Amino acid sequence: MVALPFIVAGGGIGGLAVALVLARQGHAVQVLEQADALGEIGAGIQLGPNVFRIFEHLGLTEPIRRVAYFPPNLVMRDVRTGELVVRTAVGEQALAAYGQPYGVIYRADLHQVFLDACRELPAIALHVKSKVTGFAPREGGVEVQLADGRRVQGSALIGADGLWSRVREQIVGDGKPRVSGHIAYRAVLPMQDVPPHLYSPDVTLWGGEKTHLVHYPLRRGELFNLVAVFHSDRYEEGWNTFGDPQELHLRFAQAAPHVKELLNKIETWKMWVLCDREPVANWSQGHVTLLGDAAHPMLQYLAQGACMAIEDAVTLGAALRAAPTDIAGAFRTYQQARYLRTGRVQLTARFYGEIYHASGVMRELRNRMFQSGSEAAGFIGTHWLYQGIDPDRPFD
Ligand SMILES: Cc1cc2nc3c(=O)[nH]c(=O)nc-3n(C[C@H](O)[C@H](O)[C@H](O)COP(=O)(O)OP(=O)(O)OC[C@H]3O[C@@H](n4cnc5c(N)ncnc54)[C@H](O)[C@@H]3O)c2cc1C
C-alpha cells in the first residue's frame, strides 16, 4: 500500500522548508497554498548565524550566498541626535565563533531558493488556490478540508499557514493574534536612488521614543531596504496594505535630519500591523502539528521569525527520522524540542522592542549601557540564539 502524502498547509518560507526536508527523507508531500501563485512580498529580512547553520545542513549555502548581502556591522543610533549607541561587527571574522555569517536577504529571493530546491524533487506537489479550512482525524492519518469543498487525504498535516493559521485555530484555539500596537512601514529602493551621504553598508537601527527606523542594503548591494516602525492604536489588524506617508512623517517629526531625508526618499510604503501571540507548549494533535508563525508568531525585533521556521523544519525532519512509524510521537518530540527556544524568542523580541523604543530614563540608560560595553559584549545577550541548534541532533 502506498503511504499517503504529508500535507503542508501554506507555501511560505516555513512550508517550503519543511516540504523540502520531508521529501528528501523519502516522503511524498503536498503543499496547499491559498494564494493564486507561489511567491513572497518584496522586503528584506535578516538572517542570523543560526539559520546559516541550517542552510549548510540543507546544502543551500551557495544559492543563498549568491543573493544575500553581508553587512560589516550592526549599528544602533539615537534617532533624535544621531549619536552612535552601539556598533557590533558581524563580518565573518567577528562571527568566527559561530563559523557562520550574519546576512540579509530579499524575502522573495529566500523563498525562491526554497522553491527551486522543492521543484527539483518530484515527490513534492505544489498546489495554489488551495485554502485549507480545517481537518478531521482519520484512521492512520488526516483528512484536510479546503475552502472550495475539496477533501485531501494525508498521513499527516503540518500547518505552516502563518499568523492567522486555520490549523492552529483547531488545535490551540487561542483566538485572534495579539495586536501589539506597533506598525511597520516597509520600502525597498534601487541603490541608485540612495544618495551617497544617506548610504550605509551596515544594518543600521535608529532607535527613538515609540519609533525606530532600520535600513540596510539587499541583494548583493543592489537594493536598499527600509523599515520604519511606530506605535499607533489606529489600526486593528491587517497585512500588506499601503501606509500613509503623512502619518509616518508626523511620527518621525523629532528625528535627526538624516532620518527625515531618508524617509522623504520613499513615496509608497507597504504597511504591516505587527502581531504576535503568547507562547504555548502544545501545538500538536495526533497527526497534525504547526510550524513557523502558525506555531509561534513573534514580533520582528529579534529578526528571527523566518529563521525559527527553518529551524523548525529540520527539527521536525529529525524527529520523523528518529520515529518513522510513530508520527504523533515524532510531532510531540519536535514540539518538545522547539517550544522553549521559540517561546524565548517570542518574549525576548517584545523586550527588544521596548529597548529600541525607549524614552526618558530608559533611553539614557540604554545609551550609556551600550556605549560602555565592548563590541564583543554585543553578542552576550544573543549567544543562546545565534549559536543555533545542531541540525543532526536538535533534541540535545
Ligand atoms: C516587518 C517584519 C519584519 C520581519 N523581519 C524578519 C527578519 O529580519 N528575520 C526573520 O527571520 N524574520 C522576519 N520576519 C518574520 C517572518 O516574516 C515570518 O516569521 C515568516 O515569514 C514566517 O514564515 P511562515 O512560512 O511560517 O509564515 P508566512 O510567511 O506567513 O507564510 C504562510 C503561508 O501560508 C499561506 N496561507 C495562509 N493561510 C492559509 C490557508 N488557510 N491555507 C493555505 N495557505 C495558507 C499564506 O498565503 C502564506 O503563503 C519579519 C516579519 C515582519 C512583519
Rounded to two decimals, the pTM is: 0.96
Whether residue 299 has its Cβ less than 6 Å from ligand 1: no
> Residue 374 has what pLDDT?
64
The CA distance from 58 to 112, in Å, is: 15
Q: Give the distance, in angstroms, between the CA of residue 12 and the centroid of all CA atoms in the same chain.
A: 10
Of 321, 50, 12, the residue nearest 163 (C-alpha) = 12
- Is the pLDDT higher at 55 or at 41? 55
Q: Is the pLDDT of residue 14 over 80?
A: yes
| % of residues, the chain, pLDDT over 70 | 95
Q: For 363-381, what is each residue's pLDDT tens digit?
A: 888 888 887 776 556 666 7
Least reliable range by pLDDT among 14-28, 262-276, 364-378: 364-378
CA–centroid distance, 207 to ligand 1, in Å, is 25
Fill in the amino acid letter for 101.
Answer: P
Q: How far apart are the first and last CA of the chain?
A: 35
Of 141, 391, 188, 190, the residue nearest 288 (C-alpha) = 141
pLDDT band at 203 (very low <50, low <70, confident <90, very high): very high
| Mean pLDDT value of segment 162-172 | 98
Whether residue 144 has its Cβ less than 6 Å from ligand 1: no
The CA distance from 375 to 355, in Å, is: 18
Q: For 74-115, what is each residue's pLDDT tens digit?
A: 999 999 999 998 898 888 777 778 889 999 999 999 999 999
Give the dihedral of Cα atoms 103, 294, 59, 323; nearest 10 deg. Answer: 140
| Mean pLDDT value of segment 8-27 | 98
> Residue 378 has what pLDDT?
61
Sorted by sequence, the CB contacts under 8 Å of residue 117 that are 6+ apart come out as 16, 20, 58, 60, 63
Q: Which residue among 53, 127, 161 is best mutated to probe the pocket of ligand 1, counting the most ligand atoms within 8 A of its Cβ? A: 161
- Is the pLDDT higher at 211 or at 241? 211
Whole-number mean pLDDT of the chain?
Answer: 92
Least reliable range by pLDDT among 187-191, 214-218, 245-249, 326-330: 245-249
Residues 316, 21: contact at Cβ < 8 Å? yes
Name which residue sits closest to atom 3 of ligand 1, judged by CA.
300
The CA distance from 295 to 14, in Å, is: 11
Q: Is the pLDDT of residue 227 over 80?
A: yes
Whether residue 184 has its Cβ less than 6 Å from ligand 1: yes
Q: Which atom of ligand 1 is nearest to the CA of 229?
A: 1
The CA distance from 77 to 84, in Å, is: 5
- Is the pLDDT higher at 45 or at 374? 45
Residues 290, 164: contact at Cβ < 8 Å? no
> Residue 77 has what pLDDT?
94
Of 176, 130, 154, 121, the residue nearest 10 (C-alpha) = 130
CA–centroid distance, 14 to ligand 1, in Å, is 8
pLDDT band at 214 (very low <50, low <70, confident <90, very high): very high
Question: CA 258 → CA 197, 202, 252, 277, distances in Å?
Answer: 9, 15, 11, 35
Q: For 228-249, what is each residue's pLDDT tens digit?
A: 999 887 666 655 577 888 888 9
Residue 216 annotated in active site? yes
CA–centroid distance, 160 to ligand 1, in Å, is 9
Whether residue 131 has its Cβ less than 6 Å from ligand 1: yes
CA–centroid distance, 31 to ligand 1, in Å, is 15
Question: CA 237 → CA 4, 21, 43, 233, 273, distances in Å?
Answer: 37, 33, 19, 10, 5
> Residue 3 has what pLDDT?
85
| % of residues, the chain, pLDDT over 90 | 76
The CA distance from 127 to 65, in Å, is: 28
> Residue 20 has what pLDDT?
98
Q: Which atom of ligand 1 is nearest to the CA of 38?
A: 49
CA–centroid distance, 131 to ligand 1, in Å, is 16
Sorted by sequence, the CB contacts under 8 Å of residue 13 that are 6+ apart come out as 40, 107, 110, 111, 114, 292, 306, 309, 310
> Residue 350 has what pLDDT?
95
> Residue 128 has what pLDDT?
98
Candidates 216, 301, 356, 386; catalytic one: 216
The CA distance from 53 to 188, in Å, is: 27
| Mean pLDDT value of segment 321-343 | 97
> Residue 167 has what pLDDT?
98
Name which residue sits closest to atom 30 of ligand 1, judged by CA.
162
Least reliable range by pLDDT among 201-205, 322-326, 367-371: 367-371
| Mean pLDDT value of segment 258-280 | 92
